[in-house]
Amino acid sequence: MIIGVLNQKGGVGKTTIAINLAATYAKSGLRVLLVDADPQGSALQWSAARDAEPLFPVIGMAKPSLHRDLPDIAKDYQVVIIDGAPRVNELGRAAILASDLVLIPVQPSPYDIWAAADTVSLIQEAQQFKPDLKCAFVINRKIANTAIGRDVGDALAQFEHVPVLNATLHQRVIYAESAGQGLAVIEAEPNSEAAREIAALSKALTSTNEKKAA
């Protein structure tokens, strides 16, 4: 399973989600690879900041040939997570084409919802060449008990063929604190709400991919 975490808008939490998904899958016993396809190299920087033994390898592949180069590498892993680049269409297209499933993080913000159209457009373009490609929204950094936090799912309903996952990630300090130590939340606070949220997201993605395969 190759999961691309992508959004053409920057600052939506792609790297945080990619790292924590990879760690959760690795902790469950799967062979996991994290691909940093963003020229900023945030996932690589996170890996470099880490003192603990790595849970999974992180490699940099921020290049338009990603979809051609990755399959030979991916065959040695059960789960591959791609941390995609914002605003760079040729890199975004390559990451989408390399994926089995594209996860689109969206924050409860009008700007994020408006920008989601660009990412959905790229995915629909890729589906012309890869009809089995699946995609889904995940609401990230949701703030509980706010009107926009409640309404973001309804706003995303305009994208009729892109489901919004029930697994939602909330605004939590532990995501930033663990990243600063080169850790995932499942390592820093394994019993936290954040760890449970990521676990729920990983199960939702596995279920979505299994439905695709069926």
CA distance 101 to 136: 8
Write the CATH number for 42.
Answer: 3.40.50.300
**Which pLDDT score, from 0 to 100, does residue 155 have?**
81
Chain CA centroid to CA 44, Å: 15
At residue 110, the pLDDT reads 80
Q: State which residues form the domain around 64.
A: 2-213
Q: Are 5 and 14 in contact (CB under 8 A)?
A: yes
Note whether 39 and 85 are within 8 A (CB).
yes
Q: How far is CA 38 from its chain centroid? A: 12
Query: 59 — phi, psi (to 5°)?
Result: -125, 150
Query: What integer pLDDT is reported at residue 146 of this predicted model?
Result: 62
Q: For residue 214, what pLDDT is reported? A: 47
Q: 């941390």: which residue's tokens?
A: 83
Q: What does the angle CA 141 – CA 144 – CA 149 come to, to the nearest 5 degrees?
A: 65
Query: What is the full DSSP assignment across the chain?
Result: -EEEE--SSSSSSHHHHHHHHHHHHHHTT--EEEEE-STT-HHHHHHHT--SPPSS-EEE--STTHHHHHHHHHTT-SEEEEEPPSS-HHHHHHHHHH-SEEEEEE-SSHHHHHHHHHHHHHHHHHHTT-TT-EEEEEE-SB-TT-HHHHHHHHHHTTSTTSPBPS---B--HHHHHHHHTT--HHHH-TTSHHHHHHHHHHHHHHHHHHHHH-
The total of structural domains in the chain comes to 1
What pLDDT, on the 0 to 100 scale, is given for residue 72? 94
- Averages of pLDDT over runs of 10 residues in the chain (214 residues) are 89 91 96 96 93 92 94 95 86 93 89 85 91 92 70 80 90 92 94 95 86 54
Q: Please check whether residue 133 is in contact with residue 191, taking contact to mean a CB–CB distance below 8 angstroms.
A: no
